[in-house]
Structure 1
């Protein structure tokens, strides 16, 4: 079993900080808007706002890399997959009767670990 080194532990902690902040941003946009424009559009707008915040902080703070076009494209691809996963889960939870204000939390529990691995790979950090 491989033990995590200090760098990896630091990345996980920083990812958590950025992720919590980005998730709060996404959730606040969603909660403010879902009664006015519908859940999918509100969730998408929240995702876009948090995505911009997340890209900047993921590069400079979480993984300590410099953003460039290639990393931006890979980051968008990773988040494109994550967005699709979140939308499927959000609609599934809403369809089975989970309250619209609660369902994003269930979505985040599943999508955040997946997103960490995808973003870490997209930004070119080493194992």
Structure 2
């Protein structure tokens, strides 16, 4: 599980970079919440494929693709609420606030994604329990 957590972190860093780049791009034309939502959805699709192939070393399937957004529900709620709190309440700049808000969601997202991507009793590569 430690390997999965490390790979999850690596995917998270890459996904955060994609999200943040898209967010900044969309922020040029959209209000910050709209930029956040659009960037979040697009980066989540890329994150699904990285999570299946790299983190858990499984094949993509319609089942996991359709369930994967559940892994991001808590992430979305935490980051969106955190973004609002940071920008509108604490007056943190809207360019930097998403990075801070994202950090709080990592442990919850890992736990939920692991439950969805790996079925109970599944074996990892090499015959060790996932």
> Structure 2 length as normaliser, TM-score?
0.84
CA drift of 1:73 comes to 2.3
1:121 is aligned to: 115
1:85 match: 78
Give the Cα separation in 1 of the matches to 2:29 and 2:6: 35
Deviations 1:61-101 (A, max 9, x none): 10111222221222112213321221111111111211111
1:63–1:125 Cα contact (<8 Å) kept = no
Determine the C-alpha separation between the residues in 1 that align with 2:102 and 2:119.
23
Q: Give the number of equivalent residue pairs.
A: 120
Unaligned runs of 5+ in 2: 121-129
What is residue 38 of structure 2 aligned with on the other side? 45
Runs (4 or more) in structure 1 with deviation over 6 Å come to none
Q: How many Å apart are 1:45 and its aligned residue?
A: 1.4
1:101 is matched with 95
**In structure 1, which of residues 66, 75, 90 is the aligned counterpart of residue 68 of structure 2?**
75
Choose between structure 1 and 2: higher helix proportion: 1
Aligned equivalent of 2:127: none
CA RMSD of aligned residues (A): 1.5
